[in-house]
Chain A
Amino acid sequence: MEYIAIVLANIVAILIIAPIIDGIERKIKAKLQCRKGPPILQTWYDLVKLFRRPSIVTEEYSLAYVISPYIIFANMTLALALVPSFTRISLSFFGDIIVLVYLIASSSIFLAIGSISSGNVFATIGANREISLATLSKLLMALVLATFATLKRALTLGSIFPIIPPYTLSAIISIILFAIIAYIDCYKLPFDIPEAEPEIIDGILVEYSGKSLGVLKYSTYLKRILLFTIIVDLILPRNIPTLLLPISYFTFLLALSITYVCVETYFGRLRIDQALKFMKTMVPILLVVWFIAYLHY
């Protein structure tokens, strides 16, 4: 019972801080652009307003369009339960690493299906881009996670984390690669292609409004936190005192998001083919790293 309560408390804590982390990112981005920026709670204000507004459905809508935001949200919450965050404890079972990849990948697909069924041209283009990016980035992510699994000879997230020590070359390279993939998967510039505002009017999100838009936005923040959490887990040693754990986790999270946003602010958007080319070059590197990890055994 206690175990479940802790996991639940963990998730609730993350649900609360996810928009705040986004708020902090917005604030920092604004400062880097010489402006004052919104208050840190701004993202929460936006979400609350969206939840209180009605969602308009298009005439050609299908079930997928209506429910996909909620499925994505559920996916993300579940995935967050799988990784240790504020505490050491998380849902842990044999093969949870595969479930994690599945949850992340399926939410991208649901997003694409949902927006295609809205019937809007821009949404369709956005979905197209989302799928081509997602297939590649999820392949990369699977490869990295496979490398981790090989390094630790385990299929349980609990025994994989943290990946260092030992400070082997393959471990460090794979962590860096995962950080890059996480960056791409957060759709940060120069990779925010499916939602490119000036090109295709927010792409996949164009037809969503009110609550469903709020839920979708919320899931994006959760996804970002999920990816950050994985990175933190890869580095953060878990044998420190229990009381220090939440603080160090949060500090790491903040440091990561600040680094990411500083990088993002000074980039323009790539074209989809350029982004794909960049990601394709990562595949052989990952394969090599995986092979090295295998040799370590």
Chain B
Amino acid sequence: MSLKLFRRSLWVYHLNSGSCNGCDIEVLNIFTPYHDVERLGIKLVASPRHADVIVFTGPITRETLPKAIRAFFAVPEPKAVVAVGSCACGGGIWYDSYAVIGGIEAFYRILENYYKIRLPLTVYVPGCPPKPEAIIYGIAVLRGVLKQKQRKTYFLEKEVPALTRDFIVNLEKYMKQEGGINIGKK
């Protein structure tokens, strides 16, 4: 629903929630000549009141948490969230540190518990830091312009050979016979 509204014009409020600066610089970078997202109607705004989208960078430290909550509520509805970088997506390398909340999902959990809100549309942009193109791609996915490529992959090993003594001793023979066990092929 909100996507249609933002097709042509998207104003972004950038909120550093304890990031190392890597992602912040890359977010800033998409506004510079080589990437220039103004051509896509994206603009960086200084006040959360003007914004349509919040960009979170960083694992959300305990110290920034109250400020992040305030900024989150200052953005008018409908809004969307872009979690840039692995830290914002899932806590990154800091995920179990005492000083961080650990990513946007933990942040949402707090919001759900205390404020009972409907969660906004969120796009996750992993990368450490993501390339500027990856951020542009993330926003394109958010707007529904491009299709999401990344899918969960799941694999369950179905059949395994019975591990008998004979089998393991004469492994080479069996492997040749069946030709299908490709364990540890280089």
Does B associate with A? Answer: yes
| B24 neighbours in A (Cβ, 8 Å) | none
Q: Measuring CB to CB, which residues of chain B are less than 8 angstroms from any residue of chain A?
A: 5-6, 8-9, 11, 32-33, 36, 38-39, 41, 43, 45-47, 49-50, 52, 74, 76-77
Q: What is the 8 Å Cβ interface bit string for chain A, positions 185-222, against chain B (1 contact, 0 not)?
A: 00000000000011001100111111001000000000
Interface residues of A, CB < 8 Å — how many? 30
Q: What is the 8 Å Cβ interface bit string for chain A, positions 36-47, against chain B (1 contact, 0 not)?
A: 111100100110
Whether the pair B38, A26 counts as a contact (CB closer than 8 A) is yes
Within the complex, the shortest CB–CB distance from A76 to chain B, in Å, comes to 21
Taking a contact as CB atoms closer than 8 A, the residue among B5, B33, B43, B47 that contacts A52 in the complex is B5
Give the distance in Å from the alpha carbon of A59 to the alpha carbon of B106 in the complex.
Answer: 29
| B8 neighbours in A (Cβ, 8 Å) | 42, 45, 48-49
Within the complex, the shortest CB–CB distance from B52 to chain A, in Å, comes to 7
Taking a contact as CB atoms closer than 8 A, the residue among B39, B47, B74, B76 that contacts A202 in the complex is B47
Whether the pair A54, B39 counts as a contact (CB closer than 8 A) is no
Within the complex, the shortest CB–CB distance from B48 to chain A, in Å, comes to 9
Known: A56-B76, A213-B50. 11 other contacts (CB 8 A): A38-B41, A45-B8, A46-B41, A48-B8, A49-B6, A53-B52, A55-B76, A201-B47, A206-B49, A207-B49, A208-B49
Within the complex, the shortest CB–CB distance from A156 to chain B, in Å, comes to 41
Task: Identify the closest chain B residue to A33 (Cβ).
Answer: B33
Give the distance in Å from the alpha carbon of A146 to the alpha carbon of B45 in the complex.
Answer: 40
Give the distance in Å from the alpha carbon of A206 to the alpha carbon of B5 in the complex.
Answer: 22
Task: Identify the closest chain B residue to A58 (Cβ).
Answer: B49
Q: A35 in the interface, Cβ–Cβ < 8 Å?
A: yes
Give the distance in Å from the alpha carbon of A42 to the alpha carbon of B11 in the complex.
Answer: 12
Q: Measuring CB to CB, which residues of chain A are less than 8 angstroms from any residue of chain B?
A: 26, 30, 33-39, 42, 45-46, 48-49, 52-56, 197-198, 201-202, 205-210, 213
Give the distance in Å from the alpha carbon of A46 to the alpha carbon of B12 in the complex.
Answer: 12
Within the complex, the shortest CB–CB distance from B28 to chain A, in Å, comes to 12
Whether the pair A54, B76 counts as a contact (CB closer than 8 A) is yes
Within the complex, the shortest CB–CB distance from A125 to chain B, in Å, comes to 14
